[in-house]
Chains A and B, each alone.
Chain A
């Protein structure tokens, strides 16, 4: 089924190009610090955290574009007539976003860890950003499965981590809990649940849906 992966690459190649720019551009800051002979250790950490933050946009664009864009360019109907099961199609659609997750998360985490040291505060910050990215990807994926506008799907993905953060904040307030320890922990629990629910719900819906 290599052609399905090739088709996905062709569908997402422009988004992947944008993602590559968003991944690399923040590292221009430490590189210029090196050129100016300034201490660059803290700037490397800043660059990796910035790159991780920008990856939320990349992941939302990838998730939002995955299925809705095939409806908008009318290739979804063509694909539906091919002798391939919908489960196979969606499994191949998962390859690119998951590969992107790995390519974005791994180097950024390693760079932040090796330049700043593996202390708990840094790991917690990185984990929260990564979970926000996963949540964005899952929600964009879900909305992309449901309708034909990749823009709205991507926008929903981008806004999802903020909406989760707001709701967690509200629940903590209503429960009367102290904000500081409860907030990060609750977000770290709720964000991946929302992301995973988006993935599972969207995939299940896609497998059952009759195009368009």
Chain B
């Protein structure tokens, strides 16, 4: 299994490098404020908020590259000839995205919670949680599209577009049942994204296990 993990790392290493940059970069502003005068809690919480939003992009990239990336570089066929069960391949693809999500969300949530507890209330904590759900939705949809076909760019694009497509559908449902738009959209959007992510991930994994490459 170690070599499968190593292969995954090699496949995703460029995205991980971009992810590291995206994780750290928004904190440039609070660090600057810290160097000049005093650290603004507003800037720090805004940075953790921005970093969490950007994690949606990174998770979509990781999900989209997972299977389609191997078909694009023709290593999927080579791997299909190896004596490895397909469930082991799927399992080896999970640690990197999970670790990335854990680092992104753990760090940002910890910093954000610290800021909210001390000074800053402008960015509600539930929106941080909602963005994490949107991130998992982007990852799962990209994962599903990546399993089904071989264009990495389309898989990534579909993952990023998924939460944005779900939003009007949720709003439409709210309109049809005459609900309060703001409250309905805020709550149901996250639940719908969560349901879509579980569904996409399950269907994608199931399809990959059944599929014969290429």
Q: CA–CA, A196 to B154, complex, Å?
A: 26
B15 near A14: Cβ-Cβ < 8 Å? no
Binds A, one of B103-111, B118-126, B158-166, B195-203: B158-166
Name the CB-closest residue of A to B29.
A169
A15 near B171: Cβ-Cβ < 8 Å? no
Question: What is the distance, in angstroms, from A178's C-beta to the closest C-beta of chain B?
Answer: 10
Question: What is the distance, in angstroms, from B53's C-beta to the closest C-beta of chain A?
Answer: 10
Q: CA–CA, A72 to B157, complex, Å?
A: 17
Given contacts A28-B168, A169-B29, contact A72 B14 (CB under 8 A): no
B73 near A18: Cβ-Cβ < 8 Å? no
Judge whether A198 is part of the interface by a CB distance below 8 angstroms: no
A14 near B157: Cβ-Cβ < 8 Å? yes
Q: CA–CA, A32 to B171, complex, Å?
A: 7
Name the CB-closest residue of B to A26.
B164
Judge whether A21 is part of the interface by a CB distance below 8 angstroms: yes
Given contacts A36-B181, A72-B73, A151-B64, contact A65 B36 (CB under 8 A): no
Chain A residues contacting B181 (CB-CB under 8 Å) are 32-33, 36, 38
A155 near B164: Cβ-Cβ < 8 Å? no
B57 near A57: Cβ-Cβ < 8 Å? yes
Chain B residues contacting A26 (CB-CB under 8 Å) are 164
Q: Sort A-B residue pairs by CB-CB distance and give the 3 closest, nearest first.
A: A28-B168, A18-B157, A14-B154
Chain A residues contacting B57 (CB-CB under 8 Å) are 57, 155, 158
Which positions 111-141 of chain A face chain B at CB distance < 8 Å? none
Q: Which residues of B contact A (CB under 8 A)?
A: 14-15, 18, 21-22, 25-26, 28-29, 32, 35-36, 54, 57-58, 61, 64-65, 69, 72-73, 150-154, 156-158, 160-161, 164-165, 167-168, 171-172, 174-175, 181
Q: CA–CA, A21 to B157, complex, Å?
A: 10
Other A-B pairs beyond A22-B160, A32-B175, A162-B22, 7, CB < 8 Å:
A14-B151, A21-B164, A28-B168, A29-B171, A32-B168, A162-B26, A163-B21
Among B18, B73, B157, B160, point to the contact of A156 (Cβ < 8 A). B18
Chain B residues contacting A32 (CB-CB under 8 Å) are 168, 171-172, 174-175, 181
Name the CB-closest residue of A to B61.
A155
Among B25, B150, B172, point to the contact of A162 (Cβ < 8 A). B25
A15 near B157: Cβ-Cβ < 8 Å? yes
Question: What is the distance, in angstroms, from B172's C-beta to the closest C-beta of chain A?
Answer: 7
Chain B residues contacting A14 (CB-CB under 8 Å) are 151, 153-154, 157
Name the CB-closest residue of B to A168.
B28
